[in-house]
Structures are given as C-alpha cells and as structure tokens.
Structure 1
C-alpha cells in the first residue's frame, strides 16, 4: 500500500512550482508599476509649470445707447477719429483728391524723422539757395504762398518748420526737401515711402508743397498722418503757434488756422488751390481725449475757410456727443486668474471701469497682464481695457504657489 501511495504523489519539486511562478509575476508587476509611478512623479515634477491665464467674467462689449448725428459737409469728404477709441464717423467717397498745402504735414513729418528736434530748441541753421531765392518772383506770379527770402538767408530748423506750417511757405517746403534729400524728387520718394509705412493707401506725393494737383490723398489718410505727427513734440509745438515771426526780423504773420486756441483746437494745417478746393486737418483736445479730423475737397470757394467752417461745426457737435460711461463700479469682479491647477482667483477693479465714447459706439473690453506665480490678496496683477483706457485689477484672494499635490495631480 505504501508503495502504491508513494507512486500516486507528484514529484516533490513540482508541488511549489505554480506558486513560485505567480509570486514572481506579481513581484514583476509591482516593480513595473512602481517604476511607472516614479516616472510619472518625476515627469510631473520636472515638466514646465503652466502659465496663469486671465479671463474676463464681465460682458466683453458694451454699446452706448442712442445714435450719433454729426453735421457732415454736404460735399467733399471728411473723417473724425478719437485717438485710442476709434472712428467717430466719415462722409464722402474718401477717394484720392489734391491735398494743396495739407501735404506740408508730411514734409514736416519726414524732415523731423530725419532731423529730430528737441522741444524748445531752434535746431541747426540752414541757408536759402541762390536758385530758390531767384524763383521768388516766379512763385509770386503763380500766387504761391511764400516768405520773402534772399540768397544765403539763414533759417533755423524750427524757423523753417514754422514758416512751412504756419504761413504755408511753398518756397521753404522746397528748401526743406533740398536740405534733407538734395531736391524734390528724392524727397517725394521719401514722402511716399513714409506714406506706405503709415498705411496711407490712398496717398501719392509728387512735390513737397502740395501745389501740384498730382499730389493727392484722402481725409482718412491725412487723419492717420496727423495723428502720427502730433506724437512728435516739436511738431505739436510748431502747429500750436498762431503766428510766425522771422528770426532775422520782419513782419509777424498770422496763420490760416483760425480755430487754433478755440474749441480745444491745439493744431492743424489748412490748404487751398483751385484744383483741390479747401482742405483742413486738425487736432482737438477735449475731455482728456484727442480728436483728429480732416475736411477735404470743399469746392466753390477761394480759400480754406469753408473747410475750416465745416470742421468747426463737426468739432462742436463731436464734443457735445462725447460721454463718459461707467462699465463697472469700484470693487466689482470683472476678471479672474486661472492658475493652471484648477484654481480661479477673482480680480476686482481698483477704481470704476470707465471709458469715453459716443451714442451708438460699441466698446470692447479686454484684460491683460502677466500674473506672478504667487501674490497676496490686494496686489494689482492685471488691467482691463475699454475704449483705450486701462483700469488696474487687484486679487480678491491670494494667488498661491502650487502645492506638491497640485503638481502631482495636474492633468493639463
């Protein structure tokens, strides 16, 4: 019996085989899982931290009730912009039309780009060429605006720019072109290159004074240019002066910008030829905002006065139409910080969120800034922008650095 029983038992080495195999497999699985877990932890700890994102929680736009009604000129073209806000309106076809002396805005702008002039400085001295002095009778015979000059007469840069922009001296426009580029043709090429750089798609210059009817532009392009020019302090100083007095002595002469100093007008340039009609580009400071406008191609006139009068009506109506609106009170939550770990921290306005606009305008809101990784409650970390105006935003709660758990469990 014992022998038979012994023969029925399996060999001793076979009884523990499956258990050892299962234990070994389990150990391998645990080891692999551990390695994967360690790799995941290492990956989570070394991968770049997410950037905090700003999001608006208030409506992204606000339309001011009502409708705007401005007294646009019956003929020609006109444009009125509020710097930093947008276009208040436009009239006419906005097709290229002769600029007359409004072209001198570009002449001054190009010259100042090449020969910067500090505020209050006279700048270098230039001299009138004998050739330009000899042309004076010819310019007078063509009824060109001018200043009386003699050969080799000195002009400081500021004096020349004042003669150009205040009394609209054509002969000085051509001398500025010579002093800068050697002559009209290369200077006109600079004017056109600058126009393209500024996005003036309806503009072409053939001379520095605008007397040629082939020098053409649009009201929209001239608004674009005058805005850029008014950002140059020396230009703004020159066009803010109502009169021109020669440095070498002579009669003080008044400019044609009769609105200067009234209705908030701080600068401008008039122009007239029989082909161009009356033209006027201007800048107005009102309610803390800068208005830039242009009225062009005003026909059936013998001067720029009709364009100036049309601009006056526009200015008065625009000023009365501008209004301040409150988009959110002080302390209102208008945005939030998403820190990338699922935490959302509200941002509140430090002062009322306000903007300047006019009836019918839709103001667009946006939020910007670079929030830090962590900051205490109350710190200003962003701003909301509406109508070109910025309002600081503060943290309602602390913005905390990510914890170890945040970093390990981050999915995005």
Structure 2
C-alpha cells in the first residue's frame, strides 16, 4: 500500500469515533496493551506529560509542546482529532510524522490488526508511541482522546498528569453528572505522579482529591497558586497578566491564541511549567514567554478563535460542547463587528438542546454539516435551532454555507464557523 491507500485503510477498515461514534470506543486497554507489547512497549522509552479534560486540553498540549521544544528539548506531541491531515496527530518539534513511517508501521502490524480488530484510535496511539520512541524524543505531550481511565493513551507513566477542566460532553460514554465525568478523567492520575488540576468545581474537586490520595499522587490546583489579574487584546494577540501567590511578580504573557478562554488555559500551563522546573526541567522564563507568542507557528495549532480572513472577519473555532459554546458566546460579546453570521454544524450523538440556547440570538445562521456519518442533518439542526430562537437557512456542506455567509456579510461584519472539529477541518480558505 502507498500512503493514500494506507490512510484510506485506517479510516475505513477500522472503527473510527469521528465516523461511527460510541461504537468505536473500547471500554478496556487490552488492545492497546497487546499492540504496544508487540512493539516492545515503546511508551516506556520516552518521558511524557499526560493531559485530559473536557475543554482546553488541545490548547494546553500545544502550549506546553511549544515551550518544551523552545527550551531545546526534542518534543513529541500526540493530539486528536486532526483537522486536515492525519499526520497532525503525531508531531515531533512541530513537524508532521513521515508518510513512510505510517505506511511501514501499518504493514508491520497488519497481522495484529487482523487478529485484534482494534479501533482506529488504538492503532494511532500505538503508532504515535512507536514514532516517539524511534525519534528518541526527550519528552512527549500526550493528549487524551476521550475520558481518561479507559482511554488508549492511559498506558503511559508520565512525569506529570494534567486535567484542564470538567464539563458536560460525551455523557453517553463518560456519565451524566460532573462527578462521574471527573472520575473518568481522574483515571489518568498515577501512583506517586504529581497531577495539576486546571479548573475545579465543587462537584469535581473531591473526586480529584480522593483519586490523588488513593494513589499517593501529589495534587496541585493551579487556580489556587496562579490567577489572571488582567488581560487585553491587541493585533489578534492576547496579553495576560498572571499573579502567583509564591512570588510578588506579575509578569505579562503574550499569546498568539487570542480566545479569552485561553486566560484559563495559560494559568494551567504556567503551573505545569513551575512543577516541571521543580523536577529539574530547564524552562527559562524568557523561553516560556517567547514560545507562548508563537504557539501556532511552532506546533501548527489551528481552529482556536483563528482569524483566517479580514473584511469581513472569518473566524474558525472548534468549540462543540456546552462549555465551549458558552466561552464562544463570551468571546463574541467582547468582539467588535456590525452584524454577526454563524456557520454552524454539529454531530448527532450530542445533546444539543443545552448548547443551542447559549448561542447569540442576534446572528444570522447558516446551518450545515460535516461530511461524516455522525454529522447531524442540516435540516434537523435548523429545526432544533429554530426552537431555541436561532434563525437562518441550511446548506449541504460547510464551504457552500461559508460562501453564502461571505456574500451576505459587509466588510465590518464577523463570520464564525463552529460547532464541530470536523466541520472546521473541512473549511477551504
């Protein structure tokens, strides 16, 4: 098989969550363990940081990777899903995994694939671990796919575990309450390994504390050590002043990820940096500041309040659940524009009844769908949105919808594409 044939095999022959949803989620680690054992347990050949959370784990992972590679460490980064290119999932120092490696890896484990019938995600996790081991990375930042306790990435023993926050998402698999979801995310907490909690709620803090105590893991609540005192926008960058109870300093950090929700993620990142320094990692402050200015360039992160066109402004954001949409609505309130246009597509296995009422009522909507089986039909989305007071028309694909929005928008208007990672990934700009 060549590269394109290999990718088509991985996408079509193996159960893939983005296509089929919960049916692709394996409720044990058996396949991942078997795959990695056959590969000589590559996950034990490099150091790692493990990151879980409902929202923010992608931004947090990329910020940390940018800092580590800027400090001179050869840094692996595993994230999911991808937007355009499968290889976005597996990077070293911001460079995509090679096509040849993917072809070779898939051919080598073909007998195991036939024996185990693993999911797409189980294969990609093993692939990433093998690539990082072969590349001899100093450290890899590993983002959880879904949940934590039963996620395929949860066979690593990291230097540090991170849980960004807890919100309502994937309830059909993780539980219908915040404490149940927190329990699943807390599954990444390992014996004697420190864990940094980004945000906590009254329902989730006891869950994290209990799991950490049971596993004798030092637990650090980032918000109790660091907090943002003020922030401003300028030139599509975010400037954040951060206080630390351990010092009198209040440094200002410039972020090229301009969403106001990054004020929460950067507190988590900076606390992780502090904990890594305590463990001997050399992460000088000027390096940290410089890395945060250019996360997108260093790591290739996209789709986080990303401005891709001006006059009118076209913004891409991968927010797709209740907390994410709430943060998007807050960002809209802080933005300057004449009229607002929102291109919206969602997946059908999420409870969108709580999400739609959070969206701005004053926008013109262009309802559409990603070209995947999980996508909610655009006419059904339009119907449910109308019940929530959102008005617009439906379109068969995101680029047709976006083109219509551009035709109707004035130069001082703002267009946002949101609601699904897969929808944003299909945008052609």
Of Structure 1 and Structure 2, the greater helix share is in: 2
Higher RCO (C-alpha 8 Å, min separation 6):
1
Q: Do they fold alike, i.e. is TM over 0.5?
A: no
TM normalised by structure 1 equals 0.24
TM-score by structure 2 length? 0.23
Looking at CA atoms only, which structure, 1 or 2, has the larger radius of gyration?
1
